[in-house]
Amino acid sequence: MSQKTSKFKKNHPKAKNTFLKLLNKYSIVLVAASFILLIAVTIFLYISNSTSKTYTGINTELGYNTLTGQSSSSTSNTISKQQSTRNTGSRTEASKDSITATSSLSSSTLTTSAQQDTQSSTTNSSTITSTTPPTPEVPSAIVAFYADSQSDTDQEDVYHQNTVNHILSSGANPVFHAGDLMEDGTQDSLNRFNNVTATLRSSRNFYAALGNNDRKIGDSSTPSQLWLDNFVFPNNEKWYSVNYGNLHVVVLDSAFSSGSPSQLGWLASDLQSSASQSRITCVMFHHPTFSDTISSYLINNGVDFVITGHYHSYQHSIANGINYFVLSGQTSLGYMVAKIYSDKVHITVYNNGNGVVDSIDFNER
């Protein structure tokens, strides 16, 4: 035996004692380590057992499910699907909640929208109702005026007949004539007038003023008795007034009584009457210049319009708020229609061919 081997055997008891000393010294550490190892193994086994329960019967090495006979990939898919289902279920529940909330919101929005639509509809309906134009007022009277129809020829009778026919077609009633029905006061001219106006006078209320040609033959200062006997008008037949609807018409004699105090006194009283003051008032006479004589009566008593003739051509003017009309006559004979409302007048002027010459609207003064 070599020297080295002998030396080992010689020193062996000492090594053994050293080992025992170390073992004794670190026994507590070894016990603690063993205890920790035991706990670790226990935890490992517990985790393994839990994993085994979660993935039942799956042989991870072979990749095969011994319970279902499915491959691990199939099983994994199944688990994935289950997880997906659970996740989907969660999402479904969340979606349901979202849908419910959205549905509730949509319902609320729709309800609010519907309410707004209803309110808007109501507002629009109210707006339409409030802005709808009122039913047009029906005139209380439709009145026709013409003048200077004086005729002593057949052709002039034709012109006169045309005008009368147009007036009849207009539906106007009553009809007023502003003078010069006759030509120089002759019976022939009166007969012509009566023949042409027979239907008009029998179907309409007819009124006339005296004109300078409605005179006694050979006496320019005296009205024709033929004229006076041919008609029946109120008062003294030379000056009078009548009411139709909301219209008060005053007829005066400018041909034979222009300076008569009796006529002027009567005029003042009539224009101040409730019949005149409560209505639209028209004053009719033959000569336009007579307006200057009675202007203060017209202005101070609220007269609205004045009708005259004599010049045989149509004219219209306004002074002091009063509308003044001069009507055309032979051989350009025309007529005027006035529609009378509660506080205004609409006037249309026509020629002999029934063409419109003028159209005027004005309010009551």
With b for 16 or more beta-carbon neighbours within 10 A and e for fewer, the 11-34 pattern comes to eeeeeeeeeeeeeeeeeeeeeeee
pLDDT, residue 171, reads 96
Dig out the tokens for 113 from the structure.
């929208």
Per residue in 191-219, pLDDT (tens digit) is 999 999 999 999 999 999 999 999 999 99
Dig out the tokens for 92 from the structure.
């479904």
User: Could you give the angle at the alpha carbon of 137 between the alpha carbons of 134 and 141, nearest 5°?
Assistant: 180
Strands 64-65 and 141-146: unpaired
Per residue in 307-354, pLDDT (tens digit) is 999 999 999 999 999 999 999 999 999 999 999 999 999 999 999 999
Per residue in 220-240, pLDDT (tens digit) is 999 999 999 999 999 999 999
| 3-state helix vs strand vs coil in the chain, percent to 5 | 50, 20, 30
CATH assignment, 141-363: 3.60.21.10
| Dihedral-angle region of residue 35 (phi above 0 means left; psi in -120 to 50 means alpha; beta otherwise) | alpha
Q: Return the domain boundaries, the chain.
A: 3-54, 141-363
The most distant pair of C-alpha atoms in the chain lies apart, rounded to whole Å, by 200
pTM of the full structure? 0.65
Per residue in 21-55, pLDDT (tens digit) is 666 666 676 777 777 888 887 787 777 665 554 44
Dig out the tokens for 202 from the structure.
């029998």
The Cβ-side half-sphere exposure at 41, using a 13 Å CA radius, reads 6
Strands 335-340 and 356-363: unpaired
The three-class DSSP label of residue 40 is: helix
User: Could you give the angle at the alpha carbon of 358 between the alpha carbons of 355 and 364, nearest 5°?
Assistant: 135
Question: Is residue 13 very low, low, confident or very high in pLDDT (cuts 50, 70, 90)?
Answer: low
Question: Is residue 76 very low, low, confident or very high in pLDDT (cuts 50, 70, 90)?
Answer: very low
E-state strands within 206-321: 206-208, 215-216, 219-223, 240-244, 247-251, 280-284, 305-308, 315-319
Q: Which of 334, 357, 336 is nearest to 347 (CA)?
A: 336
Is 53 exposed, middle or buried (CB count within 10 Å of its CB: 0-12, 13-18, 19+)? exposed
pLDDT, residue 92, reads 42
Whether the pLDDT of residue 101 is over 80: the answer is: no
Whether the pLDDT of residue 3 is over 50: the answer is: no
Amino acid identity of 349?
Answer: V
> Distance between CA atoms of 49 and 332, rounded to whole angstroms?
128
Dig out the tokens for 241 from the structure.
């007034």
Preceding omega of 56 cis (within 30 degrees of 0): no
Per residue in 262-314, pLDDT (tens digit) is 999 999 999 999 999 999 999 999 999 999 999 999 999 999 999 999 999 99
Matching residue, tokens 């190892």: 37
